[in-house]
Structure 1
């Protein structure tokens, strides 16, 4: 199994949103913001090459939004994912599978591009995967979360016949295990990638950055904060016990990390790069 990071650009969000009830005087020491309180975030996808499959986890944002939206969200690039793939020696046609942890705009809308007002698949040969729970939830959602879903893109993905819905946890592909988490949004799927040396967990929005590892440091975007804390604490204890490596989708400063149990709960152990682990 080969793991290759693929950049889909960057964006930003308000530091208060990223860390919820944690005071700025605390979070700003470990995750800085600018003069407007914006924190930089990554859009880091992960290409998993295993057997005859080339599985891309997440796809970034895409080019569907007005310029004002990109400016407000600090989006740096809508084409970087394709160019990043090419730099690593892959084309969009090579991708056999696209895995969405969930269907919020910054995780999946880059799988589609708008060309002359029409939608087209970026990965024409790929089967796409989402959880059934997340798909059903995205259709109803709630006023606070609804803006995170781009309905025309999601409908296009389903109508293309390429989107498959997963109903339960387990092994999707050899060495590619799925876990379900519901606190951030119902049916968020996180992959655990079992390589010969390590098991990597793609943390998505369960743990957006290394600074979000402490149990109480959760995002204001989480729909059910109490459930997120319970899910995160349980999983991070497992990660500490089994020495999983966390791979962060959104951390601008840290690619990977390990965790350890302490008297104060699970805490950061070591920051690492993917390259030094493979």
Structure 2
């Protein structure tokens, strides 16, 4: 098996949204912002090459938006995914499986191309996966979250992308386990990949950046913040005990990290890149 970090572009986010009730003088020490309180985020996919099976986790934001939306959300290099794969020696046709942690626009829309008035799969040979709970939730989502779902893209993936809905936690592929977390959005599906004696956890929006490791440092995007805190606490205790490698999808500055558990809760231990 080989694993590779794959670049899918950058975007931006208001710092208050990324850190919720945490005061700005505190969070800016952990994660930079510009003069407009805007933080820079990235979309970092993970490619798991198991030989005949080549699994890509997430697909980025894609290019489905008016210029105003791109400008307001700081979109950069959102067409980078095929080129990033090519740098590692892969074509889009090589990808056999695309796993979505959830169906918000910055996680799955990049799997679909928009050409004039038509939609097209970026990964024509791939089976696409998400949790059944997330799929069903997306169909009835509340007013606050609904803008994060692009139903033309989702329905196209379901009809043309062989979308498979995962009902149970556990092994999805050899050495590739998924677990469900509901605080950010119901049925967020977090992959745990075993590789060379280590467990790599694709943290997605459970822990968007290293600065979100403290239990109460939540993003405002979490639908159920108390649930997120409970899920983070249990997971980070497990991560510290088992020396998991956390792989961050959105942290512009840090790719991977380990954590330790202290009498004050989880603490960032070591930061490094996947190629270390």
1:139 matched to 2:168? The reply is no
Look up the SS of the partner of 1:200 in the other structure. strand
Instruction: Within 5 Å, give how 1:70-219 maps onto structure 2.
Output: 70-160=70-160, 162-219=162-219
Which residue pairs with 2:236 in the alignment? 236
Number of residues of Structure 1 aligned to a counterpart in Structure 2: 276
Alpha-carbon offset, residue 51 of structure 1: 3.4
Which residue pairs with 1:8 in the alignment? 8
Q: TM-score, normalised by structure 2?
A: 0.99
Look up the SS of the partner of 1:159 in the other structure. helix
Instruction: Within 5 Å, give how 1:23-62 maps onto structure 2.
Output: 23-62=23-62
Alpha-carbon offset, residue 117 of structure 1: 1.2
Deviations 1:221-250 (A, max 9, x none): 000000000000000000000000000000
Instruction: Within 5 Å, give how 1:240-259 maps onto structure 2.
Output: 240-259=240-259
Look up the SS of the partner of 1:148 in the other structure. coil
**Distance in structure 2 (CA, Å) of the matches to 1:265 and 1:161:** 42
Deviations 1:72-94 (A, max 9, x none): 00000221011111111111000
Which residue pairs with 2:20 in the alignment? 20
Q: TM-score, normalised by structure 1?
A: 0.98
Q: CA RMSD in A?
A: 0.7
Unaligned runs of 5+ in 2: none
Runs of 4+ aligned residues of structure 1 deviating over 6 Å after TM superposition are: none
Check conservation: 2:124, 2:161, Cα contact below 8 A.
no
**Distance in structure 2 (CA, Å) of the matches to 1:63 and 1:222:** 24
**Distance in structure 1 (CA, Å) of the matches to 2:131 and 2:110:** 18
Which residue pairs with 1:264 in the alignment? 264
Look up the SS of the partner of 2:114 in the other structure. strand
Unaligned runs of 5+ in 1: none
Look up the SS of the partner of 2:221 in the other structure. coil
